[in-house]
Structure 1
Amino acid sequence: MRLINPGIQLACFLLAASTSTHAQINRLSPVSDAELLNPDPSDWLMYSRTYDNQRFSPLDQINRDNVDKMTLVWSRDMHDGTQENIPLVHEGVMFIANPRAVIQAVDAAGGKLLWEYKRELPGDIDKYIRAVGRARTLALYQDMVYYAAPDGYLVALDARTGRPRWETLVHDYRSSTQHTTGPMVVNGKVLTGRNCGDTRKYCFIAAHDSETGEELWKFHTTAAPDEPGGDTWGAMAADLRIASPWGLPGAYDPQKNLVYWGTANPNPHTRIKRHAGKPFSVPLSAPSELYSNSTLALNPDTGELAWYYQHLPGDDWDSDHTHERILFRSSFDPNPDDVKWINPNITRGEPRDMVVSVGEPGGLWVLDGATGEFLWTMPFPFDTPDFHIADIEVETGITRISRDKVLTAEGQKHTTCFQNTKSYWPMAYHPVKNALYVPYHDACVTRTGRLDVANGHIRTSHERDGSDPNAFAGLARVDMATGTIARLHTQRNPGNGAVLLTAGDIVFWGDVTGTLYAIDADAGEILWDASVTGIIQTSTITYAVDGRQYVAILTGDGLSGTSGPLAIVNELNVDRGHNAVYVFALPEETNQ
């Protein structure tokens, strides 16, 4: 850790020179704990707006009756490179993480640059990590902006000037470890996740003091031989136990003081490769290779594990469960006609605090937020014989994977569903309708065993057999009391945009062709659309400045979240390299 003297410049930064922009940024007030717990509807202070990750905005100036009048009000290009960022907004200032370690503050109403911080990266960094500088989000707290940099440092910037305040080394980038999640702040602590590179040493979630950068705790996401769960890896050496928290940051419940974080598959991808030709040396049922493909509930003050639930034990398919958890409260009344696995010991109609997640291989999972008790699960987006879960012991929630989908020999082939059906593009929950809105791709994968390659298989993604090619991508609305699914919208073109819900009863969602849709949250009717240059990537947010509501998207090329679906819908010729911010609003005379 090092505190940085404001007079010493360790990175390039630009401060806008005009009097008006100086005044705007200088008026920026600190973000308090109270504001993070109950944000002003005009702000967008974290990647899904609130700690519960619901992505629901109370703003309703733009609604079903007037959204067709919405128009582009400003745009600006971003720096080149892989782009997966979700911007933040506070008091009319937008904070954007550009590729290759460039952070910007811009006027959220007009797009004018207020300041820019450009980190000087090591000259050899591209040798060790891919997509240098992709950052899914930033964090705002007090008068600082927190950035998890690609060179392994956690950096605190002055929110008004962009000048570095402190930085601390978290991991060595030369291990191929990379900050991929972005930070979140809870109780004055900056929490981060990452991929693990090639060693367990960096498979952890960390907490640092927001004022000084001092490390406070680490939780390793794979169990060592001498730890609880260590025996679930068989005889594998401790340093080879890899399952990273690389996806979207966690959710936080302040009443329970728990952070909910997802983890990824164990590496290498296949059991036969991980376990030296013995794919069944670890169990097919949970627990297996803990804490891979799990939901972790951690105390944010200590890093202590309160509970875990393993969704997919002993993965063989590179099927991460590492993205957002959404917290909500609902009655328990899953419909057996819609939901395949239901805990019979839960009283019908009983209200529960719940945690919902959707894995990259599909499946919609609902757990009790206090205890991790299994409530209900169903295959998602569709039920299919090629689903990777064979069964769930419903009274305990113990999952069992399909033995006949595990590769056991060179040249063997298996098809599983689903593949990257929902990745790092967040879903959303409507608290009034008790409905979850989930974007998905109807994609499966056929794998061939290849023991001479690093992960033990080669893969070909494709549409599900018998599916409608014109409904490859979709937006599902799930009743979270009953589990009943309505297909709100379907289309051929893949969609990587985050789902955004507003009190105006609109769903905003974008796709790889650069089309942003405003969809009726009940009827599924497309009320408005607009085309921009580039792939709409994650990002979708809404905010207000001086009483005017805006909707913002970012375009750019993600990694597998873009290339996988486009390999299937390969007739598209999309502009993958255009990184930009686009902001829409109603004409000023229309605002009410």
Structure 2
Amino acid sequence: MKMVHLPALQSAALVCASLFLFACGKTPAPPQPVIAVPVVAKEWNKHGGTDAEQRFSVLKQITPENIDQLGLAWAFDLGVSRGIEATPLVVDGVIYVTATWNKVFALDARSGELLWQFDPQVDRSKAADLCCDAVNRGVAYSAGKIITGTIDGRLLAIDAKTGKKLWDVITVDQSKPYTITGAPRIVNGKAIIGNGGAEYGVRGYVSAYDVNSGEMLWRFYTVPGNPEDGFENATMAKAAKTWNGEWWKYGGGGTAWDSMAYDAELDLLYVGVGNGSPWNQSIRSPGGGDNLYLSSIVALRPDTGEYVWHYQTTPGETWDYTATQHMILAELEIGGTARKVIMQAPKNGFFYVIDRATGELLSANNYVPVNWASHVDMETGRPVEVADARWGGKAPYLQLPGPMGGHNWHPMSFNPGTGLVYIPVLETPFIYGDDKSFAYTEGRWNTGSDSALASLPTDIAQFKAVKASVKGRLLAWDPVNQKPVWQVEHNSAWNGGVLSTAGGLVFQGNADAKLVAYRADNGERLWDFFAQTGIVAPPISYELDGQQYIAVASGWGGVFALVYGGLFPAESDPGVGRLMVFKLGAKAELPALVESSVVKPTPPASTADAATIAKGKLIYDINCTVCHGDHVISSGLIPDLRWSPLLVADEAMQAVVIDGALTSRGMPSFKGQISKADLTSLRAYIISAANDGLEGKLRIGK
């Protein structure tokens, strides 16, 4: 696959006119099947299907020949619609699923009847510490207990039959901007959980808790702390030698906020580690260094948390290139030899095949267009960087992948029969450049990159070019030969996780509000179902009474949808979040959509001077864009500030933005982060945006 290298900075129109085209050509012969297939045939009782996280079902009742008979068996309204990312679990005929604000539902897996629901009553003001929407990715099951994390940093056990809370422990310092969005994993009677919050100034770690009592058994920090405080172990002391400056004052980052996998034979737990804090390494660790264990896969002993090995995908990362993306364990025949491997397609755009016993790199190739590195050196295992891409202290650099990554959190799937990995990939360019006015503030969005560079262009021609360059696709990847086999282009960059089955099918939801089935061998689109709202969660499959079911949760949201959903609209509008379950011969229907019209009030006249508006835009970009949208153009998932009645006066906005009048509804207080003077500028910018008509110019149809 050809690498593409861009100069340090080009105009958006020039860049995006031909930005990183990626063609797979004719479909080659599929690779050789793998050697071993770890499976659970009837239930889906672990997050990734099994500890190997393959997200492959051996069920094969549903096939390309009868897929046209697949219909909706039942659907359950979750009562919310924002950012449903959960993988359901199915145990003993019960399906467990989570919704926004960590609500847990137990349903009869045959009928959809509600058995119980549990609301952990999370502190919704913690939405201020969530980089990427008020989401969570599901629960874990162990010995009659449902284990779940919460956005305010707790881990809870719930009785799987009754929904009664059994224990509730705090896993973080709640005075700091830690959150939990990932699903716990269960290993040897231990619930393993990490956390998020790197951009806000925290130090990452992963912890193990006894599933029966909630007692913490061990904790492994992913980055070193202040050397004056001493190091927790020799591993942290060694890692500290790869850092410079006073990184601990910025937290350091390295949060393990999502992916894990477990090999029972080797007794190794694999943890994906996130980005640095701030992103800009020239601030975080002046003088460079690998900054272990940022952007790494780390292998630990699950009973003790002891370090065994690591592989760092992006040494000294400075681009938000997390290695928290989905990891898959498999056995592949490579060069005539059976190898136990771990596979990952992290944000940085390279697909890695690694020996999971030793951490040895076996192969790597870019699965999306990449311009920050030319290749991965197989002798050193390190990427060969393009000099201009390391932007700290240099000119801004237009890069692909950007911080959304070539692959984000949405799980991929591995089919042992075809030998292919099915990856939901993105192409989202981004301009990185030094924030000349950067001042670290815990609890704020600390990237060290100029936020103005990340804002989409308002020139219409440039915006159209950017829009054309932002892509999403379902990619079938041959991990043995490190090359694409087939791909399907989507209308949006932000689409759902993936399931593959022994029936020869691949299922994926998308931003156009459809669950789609494709042929696993060539990507032919065979079937779809309109879900009424976008699907970002991954499907699962299970069997009851000899019938195969497909289940998926719908609910449009996540960071891309919030920031850019108003400017890059898909066929999905905000709608009802549901759990939908399908089987052959079923013919249920979703309730009809209710048409609603929103009356947009006339905003106050824009009277502020240009300097005040410009200051307000900077405040907005740092504090508000991640929820309310670039250029104050909302996705519709969250109230559009341009039509807010609070714009009438500073005092009205102060009651919400500073005094926290709406924290119970998820609108956090920015007291200590936004001053009253800042609020005046912020209000002026929002009023200006409400009057500039930019949405009508940029929101180019659906």
TM-score bracket for the superposition, by shorter chain length:
0.7 to 0.9
**How far apart are the structure 1 equivalents of 2:130 and 2:282?**
26
What TM-score results when the alignment is normalised by the length of structure 2? 0.70
Amino acid at match of 1:379: N
Deviation at 1:123, TM superposition (A): 6.8
Instruction: Identify which of 333, 343, 361 aligns with 2:348.
Output: 361
Amino acid at match of 1:370: A
Instruction: Identify which of 452, 459, 472 aligns with 2:437.
Output: 452
Q: Which residue of 2 aligns with 1:339?
A: none
- What are the equivalent positions in structure 2 for 1:421-460 lying under 5 Å apart? 421-453=406-438, 454-457=446-449, 458=451, 459-460=454-455
Deviation at 1:163, TM superposition (A): 0.2
Deviation at 1:431, TM superposition (A): 1.0
Matched, 1:282 2:283: no
More helix per residue: 2
**More displaced stretch, 504-513 vs 462-471:** 462-471
Q: Which residue of 2 aligns with 1:583?
A: 581
Q: Which residue of 2 aligns with 1:21?
A: none
Say whether the 8 Å CA contact 1:435–1:477 is kept in structure 2: yes
Q: Which has the larger radius of gyration?
A: 2
C-alpha deviations, 1:428-471, integer Å up to 9, x for none? Answer: 11112221111112222123432325322222579999999499
**How far apart are the structure 1 equivalents of 2:512 and 2:247?**
45
- What are the equivalent positions in structure 2 for 1:249-264 lying under 5 Å apart? 249-264=259-274
Deviation at 1:395, TM superposition (A): 1.6
Q: Which residue of 2 aligns with 1:494?
A: 493
Q: Which residue of 1 aligns with 2:42?
A: 42
- CA separation of 1:47/1:207 partners in 2, compared to 1, >3 Å: closer, same or farther? same
Matched, 1:292 2:294: yes
- What are the equivalent positions in structure 2 for 1:148-547 lying under 5 Å apart? 148-196=149-197, 202-224=203-225, 225=227, 226=231, 227-275=237-285, 278=286, 281-283=287-289, 288-332=290-334, 348-382=335-369, 384=370, 386=371, 388-409=372-393, 412-419=395-402, 420=404, 421-453=406-438, 454-457=446-449, 458=451, 459-460=454-455, 469=468, 472-547=471-546
**More displaced stretch, 548-557 vs 187-196:** 548-557
Amino acid at match of 1:61: Q
- CA separation of 1:400/1:495 partners in 2, compared to 1, >3 Å: closer, same or farther? same
Say whether the 8 Å CA contact 1:205–1:221 is kept in structure 2: yes
Deviation at 1:472, TM superposition (A): 2.5
**More displaced stretch, 459-468 vs 427-436:** 459-468
**How far apart are the structure 2 equivalents of 1:127 and 1:448?**
25
- CA separation of 1:38/1:237 partners in 2, compared to 1, >3 Å: closer, same or farther? closer
- What are the equivalent positions in structure 2 for 1:41-80 lying under 5 Å apart? 41-80=41-80
Deviation at 1:192, TM superposition (A): 0.4
Q: Which residue of 2 aligns with 1:28?
A: none
Q: Which residue of 2 aligns with 1:138?
A: 139
- CA separation of 1:200/1:229 partners in 2, compared to 1, >3 Å: closer, same or farther? farther
C-alpha deviations, 1:196-238, integer Å up to 9, x for none? Answer: 4578875111001111111110000102445111021112243
**How far apart are the structure 1 equivalents of 2:249 and 2:540?**
40
**How far apart are the structure 2 equivalents of 1:465 and 1:329?**
44
Say whether the 8 Å CA contact 1:129–1:173 is kept in structure 2: no
Amino acid at match of 1:260: Y
Amino acid at match of 1:403: A
**How far apart are the structure 2 equivalents of 1:221 and 1:40?**
32
Q: How well do the aligned residues superpose, as a CA RMSD in angstroms? A: 2.7
Deviation at 1:558, TM superposition (A): 3.1
Deviation at 1:295, TM superposition (A): 0.5
Q: Which residue of 2 aligns with 1:341?
A: none
Deviation at 1:473, TM superposition (A): 2.0
Q: Which residue of 1 aligns with 2:665?
A: none
- CA separation of 1:467/1:381 partners in 2, compared to 1, >3 Å: closer, same or farther? farther
Deviation at 1:491, TM superposition (A): 2.9
**How far apart are the structure 2 equivalents of 1:255 and 1:103?**
32
**Aligned-partner SS, 2:573:** coil
- CA separation of 1:160/1:298 partners in 2, compared to 1, >3 Å: closer, same or farther? same
Deviation at 1:54, TM superposition (A): 0.6
- CA separation of 1:471/1:121 partners in 2, compared to 1, >3 Å: closer, same or farther? closer
**More displaced stretch, 471-480 vs 253-262:** 471-480
- CA separation of 1:148/1:351 partners in 2, compared to 1, >3 Å: closer, same or farther? same
What TM-score results when the alignment is normalised by the length of structure 1? 0.83
- What are the equivalent positions in structure 2 for 1:21-36 lying under 5 Å apart? none
**How far apart are the structure 1 equivalents of 2:429 and 2:303?**
40
**How far apart are the structure 1 equivalents of 2:565 and 2:199?**
28
**How far apart are the structure 1 equivalents of 2:180 and 2:120?**
14
Say whether the 8 Å CA contact 2:203–2:223 is kept in structure 1: no
**More displaced stretch, 540-549 vs 557-566:** 557-566
Say whether the 8 Å CA contact 2:103–2:120 is kept in structure 1: yes
**How far apart are the structure 1 equivalents of 2:463 and 2:310?**
32
**More displaced stretch, 139-148 vs 97-106:** 97-106
**How far apart are the structure 2 equivalents of 1:567 and 1:355?**
37
Higher relative contact order by CA 8 Å / sep ≥ 6: 1 or 2?
A: 2
**Aligned-partner SS, 2:276:** coil
Q: Which residue of 1 aligns with 2:105?
A: 104
Say whether the 8 Å CA contact 1:154–1:167 is kept in structure 2: yes
Deviation at 1:517, TM superposition (A): 0.9
**How far apart are the structure 1 equivalents of 2:308 and 2:534?**
39
Say whether the 8 Å CA contact 1:150–1:173 is kept in structure 2: no
**How far apart are the structure 1 equivalents of 2:203 and 2:280?**
21
- CA separation of 1:228/1:558 partners in 2, compared to 1, >3 Å: closer, same or farther? farther
Say whether the 8 Å CA contact 1:495–1:510 is kept in structure 2: no
Amino acid at match of 2:558: L
**Aligned-partner SS, 2:68:** helix
- CA separation of 1:261/1:461 partners in 2, compared to 1, >3 Å: closer, same or farther? farther
**More displaced stretch, 463-472 vs 559-568:** 463-472
**Aligned-partner SS, 2:101:** coil
C-alpha deviations, 1:101-152, integer Å up to 9, x for none? Answer: 3111011122111001112234754455567862212000101000112232
**Aligned-partner SS, 2:157:** strand
More strand per residue: 1
Unaligned runs of 5+ in 2: 1-36, 232-236, 439-445, 588-702
Deviation at 1:477, TM superposition (A): 1.6
Amino acid at match of 1:250: M
Q: Which residue of 2 aligns with 1:553?
A: 552
Amino acid at match of 1:351: A
Deviation at 1:550, TM superposition (A): 1.2
**How far apart are the structure 1 equivalents of 2:565 and 2:385?**
28
Say whether the 8 Å CA contact 1:443–1:464 is kept in structure 2: no
**Aligned-partner SS, 2:252:** coil
